[in-house]
Structure formats: C-alpha cells, structure tokens
Amino acid sequence: TNNNEMYIPECTPDGRYQKVQCYRSTGYCWCVNEDSGNTIPGTSVKDNHPKCDTVQPLSRPMKGCPEHRKQTFLRALMDFLTHTMASQKSSNVTTKDTQNTSQEEQIATWNFNALDTNKNKFLEKNEWKSFRSLISTHRKLRRCGKKLPRYCDVNHDHKISLTEWLHCLNAQRPVTGSGGVMPTPNPKRMGPNPLESYLKDK
C-alpha cells in the first residue's frame, strides 16, 4: 500500500463515525467519538483493533431519579418506545442500518428519528417538549422522564445526539459485526487526513 494514501474516516449508514477507525497503510486503529470523529486518547493500537466498548462512559446518576428507579424507568421507557414504534409501522421513519444493531438500538434509533422533526440529527428543546407530553400520561415514565434530557445531554450543549440518546437508553451500537469481523461501512466521509501533519513530523 502507498504510504501517501489519504486517510478516509469510516462512517455508519446513518452518517456517524464508526467507533473504530483504522489507517490501513500504517496499521494503526483507534477509537473515536461517534458524533464528532474526535480520537479518544490512549486507544490507538498497531496491527489490532482497540476495544472501544471498554472506553464508553460508565452508568451515571440521574439527578432526581435514584439508581433503582432509573433502571426501572429505562426498562419501562424501552417498552414504551417499542410500543410506540409498533403502533406506527406505517410511518415513513425508518432505521437504515439494522444488520449490526441490537433490537434495542433499532427501537431507540427509530424513536430518535421520529422525535427529530427538523431532521438535523439532534433532539432539541422543542422536540423534547413533544417527548415530555408523550410520556406525561404514563405514571411509570413521568417522574424520571422529566430528568431524561439533562441526563442524556452528556456534553451539555442543550441538544441530544443519536449517540447520546443510545448511550443514555443503554442501546449502544456494537463495534463488530457477526462473527467478530469489523463491518465494512459505506458511505465513507471524505476529507483531509487528520493525522497528516502528525505523520509528516515522524
């Protein structure tokens, strides 16, 4: 392989970055943030695939919703989201990538897309209002549901990305496909090699 080969980040069909990125001509692979593509420090390995699931954030407390109640709430919420998706099968909101995803992720992604009315790939304040009104009639979901937006907004930018949504619902994307083989993503995000200046210095 030509060492001048341009690095092209690998992306998921829904436009996010794959958790594992590899620069094949150098043999290095590393973990990235799925929304920004930023490298997660300390994850780069040569001639191997890093274990990106081990660098995911641990369970965080949900303010005003104790841990035992949070777990019950998240299970009830997933049941509610499953029912919502099943009751609207005729909707044109679909998930694009189901091959390497769990049922929970498919359900969470479908509901994210349904809530994302302006289709900017973020749930914003006005979209959360419709979510809150949707769950307000369900006693099991009401109390902790009010806390969910802040809980999901890990980076405090007042909007929820799909990655944040999946993480807060415990419905993360698996890193490998069936059989432990890295999936071949398509389409690829084009752009300059973010490591080019670093590699030139070596």
Residue by residue, DSSP assigns 108-165 as: HHHHHHHH-TT-SSEE-HHHHHHHHHHHTT-HHHHHHHTTHHHHH-TT-SSSEEHHHH
What is the average pLDDT value for the chain, to the nearest integer?
78
pLDDT digits (tens, 9 = 90+) for 157-176: 899 999 889 888 887 655 44
What does the pLDDT average to over 122-133? 89
Domains of the chain, residue spans: 7-53, 67-85+102-170
Fold of 7-53: Invariant Chain; Chain I (4.10.800)
pLDDT digits (tens, 9 = 90+) for 48-83: 988 887 655 546 788 888 888 988 999 999 999 999
Domain made up of 67-85+102-170: CATH architecture: Orthogonal Bundle (1.10)
